[in-house]
Amino acid sequence: MPGQVVLEYSYLLSAIMFVIGLKLQSHPETARKGNFWAASGMILPMITTLILNRNGAGEAIGMGNVIAILLIIAAGTVVGSIMARKVKMTAMPQMVSFFNATGGAASAAVALIEYTKNPDQAVLVGLLGLVVGSIAFSGSMIAYGKLDGKVGDIFAKFMTYVNLLFMAVIVAVILLVLFGGFDAQTRTYLVFGLLVISLVYGVSFVMPIGGADMPVVISLLNSLTGIAAAMAGFIYQNEAMILGGILVGAAGTILTLQMCKAMNRSLINVIIGSFGGGGASHADVQGSIKEITLTDAAVLLSYSQKVVIIPGYGLAVAQAQHIAHELDSLLGSKGVEVKYAIHPVAGRMPGHMNVLLAEADVPYEQLVEMDDINPDMPNVDVAIVVGANDVVNPAAYDDPGSPIYGMPIIDAHLAKNIIIMKRGMGKGYAGIENFLFFNDKTRMLFGDAKGTMTKLVSEIKSM
């Protein structure tokens, strides 16, 4: 049928648009355009499906269903637009987690609804969609709570065994539903039990994961949401859902593995290792805390040749990205070379710092990844650490008893001078002492990052 052919081609075109969108999102200058392409790739199959899709009897979607679908889409569009416009950049990780949760919930709902329509046709792909979608939903909601400070961590070794038990039970229930030979009512009880176990497991598997691993968790949950969407696509035999889900799942998996590499940890170690927040350094901290005045900091920066700014979550909290760009522009006008050192897991979401600095119109060429900036750190006159903590902590090199031991860091300690901007002596997201604070080359500039940098800019201008 011509309509069916057009529908299939629209799905193919949608997949191509997704790929183009992903490609464009790989660079800040084209990321906005990439979002447009990806969004258009999602809208296209929604429209063609409403118009051209036919059921097994060749019947089109009923007008009542079309109206209901359009109303739901309109409601979701309005709510999503309001949330996106109101969310602060500091809360972007929470929003990503929330969106992951809704995607997982939708996929799980599809699997459950389709099963209840025909309980005699339980298939593996439907059960996997239910399980993965449920885990993505509950796990993402817990991640949201952790990032927002509403949910604490459970650091206990027994949680590893609890999670392994949940996984074994989930596999066992799936096998019973598929091959147990039970009647439809018993299978239905088992399927709803599978839903409950999967939801609980999503909570159980995220709860022990500490703050330092949250960027990896967000990426992993995003991958699970994509996989769940692909499963829903298989249920409906919808190529657009399958391709979109596979792309999201694959991209999330690749990013997750990159995050793990950046932290020198295996994915399994992240999931069951209870990393961050509960750990403590076992080494004795040597040295003392030394402060620097605004005037001395202004003089030091003005007469430097190379300055590296190392941003972290504290910069996001203080909304200091714009004043940071003003500082780097001011120093640049004095002939100082200024770069930003970006750690792959700085902040609480992959790419968090890149997005913040792009919002402040910092040129992309000034953002330098950790592996590229580290060889040049011994030649840097001043390293300014703004709100970063764990990603510059030399305990990663020096303290075998530290939870972050072995994690690649930005080598701020190798710079000739180090200025650390912090409100106080609080610990980072991993909950451990930062050895860099006690380095002989380190000077602390206490205060709110935005306020302190504003005063620093004024001091430099007055010189």
Catalytic residues: 390
Query: What is the C-alpha to C-alpha distance for residues 242 and 226, in angstroms, rounded to an integer?
Result: 9
Q: Please calculate the CA angle 227-230-234 and round it to the nearest 5 degrees.
A: 140
> How many residues can be counted in the chain?
463
DSSP assigned state of 62: P
Tokens of 434: 């930062």
Which residues touch 93 (CB under 8 Å, ≥6 apart)? 147, 214, 218, 347, 348, 349, 352
Q: How far is CA 313 from CA 194, 263, 318, 343, 356, in A?
A: 38, 17, 9, 11, 10
Distance CA 202, CA 310 (A): 34
d(CA 254, CA 232): 22
**Of 294, 377, 367, nearest in space to 325 by CA:** 367
How large is the greatest C-alpha to C-alpha distance in the chain, in angstroms?
Answer: 84
Please say whether the dihedral angle defined by the alpha carbons of residues 234, 240, 241 and 242, taken in this order, is positive or negative: positive
Continuous segment of H or E residues that includes residue 385: strand 382-386
C-alpha to C-alpha distance for 359 and 173, rounded to whole angstroms: 48
H-only helix segments in 118-157: 124-147
- CA 116 to chain CA centroid, nearest Å: 34
Our CA angle for 314, 315, 319, nearest 5°, is 115
* Amino acid of residue 88: K
DSSP SS3 for 253: helix
d(CA 242, CA 252) in angstroms, rounded, equals 15
d(CA 110, CA 108): 5
Distance (Å, whole) CA 98 – CA 142? 9
